[in-house]
Structure 1
Amino acid sequence: MYIKKILWAIALIGLVVFGLFAYYIYGAMFQPNTNFNNETAYIYVPTNATYAEVREQLAPLLDDIDSFDALAQQKKYTTNIKAGRFAISKGMNNNDIINSIRSKNLPLKIAFNNQNSLADLAGRIGSQIEADSLSLYKAMTDKDFLSKNGFTKATALGMYLPNSYEFFWNTSAEAFRERMLTEYNRFWTDTRKAQAKKQNLSPSEVITLASIVHEESKQADEQPRVAGVYLNRLRLGMALQADPTLKFAAYQLPKYKNTVIRRVLNVHKEINSPYNTYMYNGLPPGPIAMPDLSAIKAVLNPEKHSYLYFAADANRIGYHKFAKTLAQHNNNAREYQRYLSSQGINK
């Protein structure tokens, strides 16, 4: 009888302990454990991160980090960290949080345009993904990669077509570069290559000319006409005489660093640079900036006309006046120069 009582007591104690354990497990797994007001919070887990690094990000977002620790250890998350960008929804329990940060790496939208150099592009991308600007720039300028894929350092910027793309936050510099090469090759369909050939240009040369067209005119409806002028000049063997290339050449010189050239002067035309299209015929070695897709398409589908010149239109800022003769162009140019002087723009 006495032994039975002992056994019953042990059984009762066991049930109580089991109940407490079950309650603890239930609380650790299924009780809401978030502590933020927004509907969603995000954590960014670096490549090769430790659990301590993940925990540091989670602690301010959770009510009870200790219960999370216990379940994370039981589910072996502490030794199986995944890199990426992960979402935690308000009201999630520990089990849901662990499932989310272990297997639901979320992509994000990366957008870029109008970058003036690879360094600028690397900086912009480096602010949006895990790879930093230095590693991105190193990958973008890697000589073996450029040579293998038909680029030089001067033409490399043309490989990066401005658009919006989906990437995982933990994308490496090399993976970013490879994806952009894929997008570039996808863009250059047989149809577009045939259009480029019709203009006696390679894809890389199309990008270079498009960069000049885009710097001359941001107006998509005018870009095909501007492209037509430059293509007419190339066919006739005339110098392009593109003011944006003079600015680009000038900005490579120490004296023009951290300056803004608002008015192209004769002194700029004397800069000895392969980008000086007043001094050297043909296209410069590579793009002077990242052109919009509209400018690229303008070069591939230029307006057919007989214009050889254009000057900015003082009456329609952002647009240009086109001319077939030098005399007509000089009149247009003088009109715009008078406008600049009236605005106090002398350099």
Structure 2
Amino acid sequence: MSRIRKSRFGLLFVLLLVAAGAVAWWAWQRYTAFADAPLAGLEQGDSIVVERGDSFPVVIGKLREAGVREGEAAEWRLLARQLGAASSLHVGEYALVPGTTPRELLVAMREGDTIQHRFTIVEGWNIRELRAALAAADPLEHESADLDNDALMAALGHPDQHPEGRFLPETYLYTRGDSDLDLLRRAHAASARALAAAWEDRDPDTQLKSPYEMLILASIVEKETGIAAERPQIAGLFERRLKIGMRLQTDPTVIYGIGEDYDGNIRRSHLTTDTPYNTYTRAGLPPTPIAMPGVDALQAVANPADGSALYFVAIGDGSGRHLFADTLAEHQANVRKYLRNYRQNTRDAQ
């Protein structure tokens, strides 16, 4: 080969190397720009669901359906391989938050950083209210809709339990795909732990004979006051009534016994009509809890406040607080105060 031809060949080779380097540099720049640039068009609340059995191409297709247009399929596959995510995407729902980059999204899918939804069991809810709230919760899967309370408890693995009071009030996190039964199992276990801890910590002089009796009384205390500082006082008052054989005479148990027929007004006829839950007509505790007691109510019953009061009535000023009395005469005077305050508040509201 002549020197001129060799020179031309060398020059062509160099030019090809330069061209290949330029193409590689351009491709790398394009790739890195794709990987770390925010995805366009995302809105708050957008999400993508990776389901069991979804291949990576299927996931890319779902991103396209969600409005993501950035990146060729090859770029998504290359980035997924680089991040070790191509074959290890976790099932679940992922947020497509404005500003998210492809790299951040694939890392979230690799780590299983799914959207966490919240469901709150409110202190004082009864089982009917809890089940209604679960039925309306989205995107929770509804597996208990056709189950009555007995079948529900059997499905949860507790066929001999009454459901009332058995689910601890607090906020539970769940992911898309979880069911109401999943959430109730967690709430039931949390309630069992809280009750066991309260029973272990109980006053040795308590009148309560079992953890279940503690659960029942805690549910009554929960319904009687929303004022945290009053719970130990009311728990102590009920303990003293139980000790001397005095009826609890607590309206929330009567209301529970009325059930769905309760219209928001408790009447004298309700107080005199006997039901298993009427603590005006029956001594001792009702047969089951009447609501879901929280940890504070359980602890109040475990460690009730000392005192001598046997009566209490709402102040009637809208604060939710109560007046306590040792004697019936003092209580009757407090009732008159309540009525005056209630009438004044009613007039002020008109």
* SS at 1:102 equivalent: helix
Q: Distance in 2 between matches of 1:162 and 1:339?
A: 32
1:217 partnered with 2:225: yes
Instruction: Output the CA distance in 2 between the equivalents of 1:152 and 1:316.
Output: 34
Q: Which of 324, 338, 347 does residue 326 from structure 2 map onto? A: 324
| Deviation string, structure 1 residues 228-284 (Cα, Å, up to 9, x no partner) | 11111222222211111222223432xx4xx433xx321222444322222222222
Over residues 13-58 of structure 1, what are the superposed CA-to-partner deviations in whole Å (9 max), with x where a residue is unaligned? 99979976885676456512501577x8762526548576884566
2: distance between equivalents of 1:115 and 1:72?
50
Q: Which runs of 5+ in 2 are unaligned?
A: none
The aligned counterpart of 1:94 is 102
Q: 1:314 to 1:180 in 2, by over 3 A?
A: closer
How do 1:285-300 residues align onto structure 2 when only pairs under 5 Å count?
285-300=287-302
- Aligned pair count? 332
Counterparts in 2 of 1:191-210, with a 5 A limit?
192-195=199-202, 198-199=205-206, 200-210=208-218
The answer to whether structure 1 residue 243 and structure 2 residue 255 are counterparts is no
Alignment deviations for residues 93-152 of structure 1 (CA, whole Å, 9 cap, x no partner) = 43442232233324637343235233533454566664334548959823253536x732
The answer for the alignment partner of 2:49 in structure 1 is 45
Q: Retained in 2: the 8 A contact 1:83–1:170?
A: no
Partner of 2:270: 268
Paired residue type of 1:45: V
Specify the alignment match of 1:35 in structure 2.
Answer: 40
Contact 2:194–2:295, Cα closer than 8 Å, also in 1: no
**CA pair 299-83 structure 1, distance change in 2 beyond 3 A:** same
Counterpart check, 1:179 vs 2:190: no
Q: Is 1:113 aligned to residue 117 of structure 2? A: no
Q: Does 1:103 align with 2:111?
A: yes
State how far apart, in whole Å, the 1-side matches of 2:273 and 2:324 are: 26
- TM-score under structure 1 normalisation? 0.73
Please report how far the alpha carbon of residue 218 of structure 1 lies from its aligned counterpart in structure 2 after TM superposition.
Answer: 1.3
Structure 1 residue 215: deviation in Å? 1.9
- For residues 238 and 128 of structure 1, do their structure 2 counterparts lie closer, same or farther at Cα, with a shift above 3 Å needed? same
Distance 2:233 2:96 in 1: 51
1:135 to 1:15, Cα distance in 2 relative to 1, 3 A: farther
Distance 1:243 1:226, change over 3 A: same
Q: Counterpart in 1 of 2:241?
A: 233
SS at match of 2:158: helix
What displacement does 1:300 show? 1.2
Aligned-pair CA distance for 1:209: 1.6
Give the 3 Å change call, closer, same or farther, for CA 23–121 of structure 1 in structure 2: farther
Partner of 2:140: 131
Could you say what secondary structure the match of 1:322 adopts? strand
Shift of 1:169: 4.5
Identical columns (%): 24
Contact 2:254/2:279 (CA < 8 Å) preserved in 1? yes
Distance 1:313 1:108 in 2: 42
Counterpart Cα distance in 1 of 2:236 and 2:58: 60
Q: In 1, Cα distance between the equivalents of 2:32 and 2:300?
A: 59
